């Protein structure tokens, strides 16, 4: 977590134009083990709605990384984190079909929204 904490919370840049498929960009290449499909991970992240640029969720704001398995999250995360190395920082631009589609979990995300996440991989569980 030390390298991730030293970097601090990311700036999230919404690409223009928005991609129509999952877009994965490594901002910082990690080292060591890589995330496998279905793996358990611990991450720090910030999520932004592409249409507004507003942050709708951030583990950085809560001061705690989050742990889960890749089969517990939206498909864009499940696919987008595979191959990432510990200590890395990756931006995921996730189209609605691989995010929440027309059924977002809260009013902070509009139906049919493209989501942009910057994810720091703290560990592989």
The yes-or-no answer on residue 86 being catalytic is no
Q: Could you say which of 16, 54, 57, 61 is catalytic?
A: 57
86, 94, 100, 109: the catalytic one is 100
Distance of alpha carbon 107 from alpha carbon 88, whole angstroms: 30
CA 98 to chain centre: 12
Considering 94, 109, 117, 120, which one is annotated as catalytic?
A: 117
3-class secondary structure, 96: helix
109 is a catalytic site residue: no
Query: Over the range 30-42, which residues count as b (16 or more CB within 10 Å of their CB) and which as e?
Result: beeeebeeebebb
100 a catalytic residue: yes
Instruction: Spot the catalytic one: 24, 74, 108, 124.
Output: 74
57 counts as catalytic? yes
Query: What does the alpha-carbon distance between residue 91 and residue 13 come to, in Å, rounded to a whole number?
Result: 9
Is-catalytic flag, 16?
A: no
Residue 124 among the catalytic residues: no
Q: Which are the catalytic amino acids?
A: 45, 56-57, 74, 100, 117
């Amino acid at each position: 977590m030390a390298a991730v904490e030293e970097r601090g919370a990311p700036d999230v840049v919404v690409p223009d134009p928005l991609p129509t498929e999952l877009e994965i960009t490594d901002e910082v290449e990690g080292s060591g083990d890589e995330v496998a499909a279905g793996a358990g991970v611990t991450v720090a992240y910030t999520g932004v709605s592409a249409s507004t640029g507003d942050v709708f969720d951030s583990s950085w704001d809560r001061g705690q990384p989050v742990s889960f398995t890749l089969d517990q999250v939206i498909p864009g995360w499940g696919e987008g984190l595979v191959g990432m190395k510990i200590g890395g920082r990756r931006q995921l631009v996730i189209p609605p079909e691989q995010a929440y589609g027309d059924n977002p979990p809260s009013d902070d995300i509009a139906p049919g929204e493209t989501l942009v996440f910057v994810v720091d991989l703290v560990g592989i569980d």
